[in-house]
């Protein structure tokens, strides 16, 4: 166990975080989606520490965060479509899976030895300031134990990884609240993970429908493709309109519960509240001796797709 420092997002804190990364240490930092667990993407030992801290399978690749398109093009081969999407949506909650350049300089662990890489430019001032201070690409999955609820505050990070990582930059709560949308451009455009950028926005930008979904039994080519993920300790039941005995209820819109994702039925608000609500419901279930969390139906449009993706994985059978 090590003492995990909490750093302020000021010049002193950013300098300390960048120095920790250069020394091969791990620093959690805020993005607009969730907190990421950052390590030097070119350092094999640093990336190995990410997998060890999270208990993450080594075959599951990581997202590489960069400060801008110019840095991204040094790592991956961009098509005209990829450049257009980057121009429209970066910085922002979109991850692009692209062919890896031969001289990219990334640790082989980042890509799980695949010939592709997942890249994004985060839209959070602290994340961008850290990337600039560090001066290179940062590998960063969500800053939580593998398979568990993703963190949207520094306190969530410390709850799951305190004593296992060097530091966390406290930038307050994350605004989007679900991870980035992952779009593969290796062949026909395909959404591998629904996320903070709605499928409809991507399709409007491309001027065509995109494939969505993936084979969860196949080897992942990007993060977020495992069938069971984002899981609280209690079981999860979906599309519930009333709580059954032994359940804590999370409501949405007109469906009331012990907690609610959005009283007005706003999917943007619901996405921002999703992971914190699952955490709060898990605590309440433990206090009550309840075995399950029931969640109200969420419309499968816009960010509702990402919410339902996370909920379906949270409810999936666990190995």
Average pLDDT over residues 283-290: 97
pLDDT value for 228: 57
Residue 79 pLDDT: 94
Asked whether residue 302 carries a pLDDT value surpassing 80, the answer given is yes
**Per-residue pLDDT reduced to its tens digit, 130-149:** 999 999 999 999 999 988 99
Task: Say which CATH number the domain at 92 has.
Answer: 3.90.870.10
- Quote the CA–CA distance of 120 and 298 in Å, as a whole number: 27
Residue 251 lies in a domain: yes
Average pLDDT, stretch 24-42? 98
Measured distance CA(112)–CA(220) in Å, rounded: 9
Does residue 227 surpass a pLDDT of 70?
no
Helix 80-89 / helix 199-206 crossing angle, nearest 10 deg: 130
Per the structure, the complete domain to which residue 29 belongs is given by: 5-212
My answer on whether 120 and 165 are in the same domain is yes
Same domain membership, residue 145 and residue 245 = no
Check whether residue 184 and residue 52 sit in a common domain: yes
Task: Give per-residue pLDDT as tens, 229-259.
Answer: 678 999 999 999 999 999 999 999 999 999 9
Co-location of 184 and 267 in the same domain: no
Does residue 227 lie in a domain region?
no
pLDDT for 153: 98
Domain boundary among 212, 227, 262: 212
67 lies in some domain: yes
H or E element at residue 193? strand 190-193
- 187 and 244 belong to one structural domain: no
Residues 29, 168 within the same domain: yes
224: in domain: no
What was the pLDDT predicted at 130?
98
Element (H, E) at 94: strand 94-99
Residues 242 and 199 in one domain: no
Statement to judge: residues 185 and 143 lie in one domain: yes
How far, in Å, are 1, 62, 291 from residue 288 at the CA level? Answer: 31, 37, 9
Query: Domains in the chain: how many in total?
Result: 2
Helix (H, G, I), strand (E, B) or coil at 288: helix
């Amino acid at each position: 166990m090590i003492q995990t420092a909490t750093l302020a997002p000021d010049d002193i804190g950013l300098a300390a975080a960048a120095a920790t990364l250069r020394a091969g240490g791990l620093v959690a930092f805020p993005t607009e989606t969730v907190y990421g667990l950052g390590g030097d993407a070119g350092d094999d030992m640093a990336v190995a520490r990410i997998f060890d801290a999270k208990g993450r399978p080594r075959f599951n690749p990581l997202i590489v965060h960069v400060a801008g398109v110019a840095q991204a093009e040094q790592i991956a081969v961009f098509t005209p479509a990829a450049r257009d999407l980057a121009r429209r949506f970066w910085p922002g909650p979109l991850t692009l899976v692209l062919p890896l350049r031969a001289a990219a300089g990334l640790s082989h662990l980042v890509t799980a030895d695949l010939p592709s890489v997942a890249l994004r430019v985060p839209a959070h001032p602290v994340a961008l300031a850290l990337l600039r201070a560090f001066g290179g690409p940062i590998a960063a999955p969500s800053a939580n134990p593998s398979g568990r609820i993703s963190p949207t505050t520094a306190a969530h990070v410390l709850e799951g990884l305190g004593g296992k990582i060097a530091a966390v930059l406290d930038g307050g709560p994350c605004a989007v609240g679900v991870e980035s949308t992952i779009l593969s451009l290796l062949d026909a455009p395909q959404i591998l993970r629904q996320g903070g950028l709605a499928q409809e926005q991507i399709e409007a930008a491309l001027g065509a429908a995109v494939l969505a979904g993936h084979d969860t039994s196949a080897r992942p080519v990007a993060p977020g493709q495992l069938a069971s993920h984002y899981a609280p300790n209690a079981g999860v039941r979906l599309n519930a309109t009333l709580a059954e005995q032994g359940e804590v209820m999370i409501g949405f819109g007109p469906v009331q519960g012990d907690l609610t994702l959005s009283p007005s039925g706003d999917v943007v608000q619901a996405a921002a509240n999703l992971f914190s609500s699952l955490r709060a419901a898990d605590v309440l279930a433990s206090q009550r001796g309840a075995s399950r969390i029931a969640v109200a139906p969420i419309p499968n449009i816009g960010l509702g797709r990402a919410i339902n993706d996370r909920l379906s994985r949270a409810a999936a059978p666990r190995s």
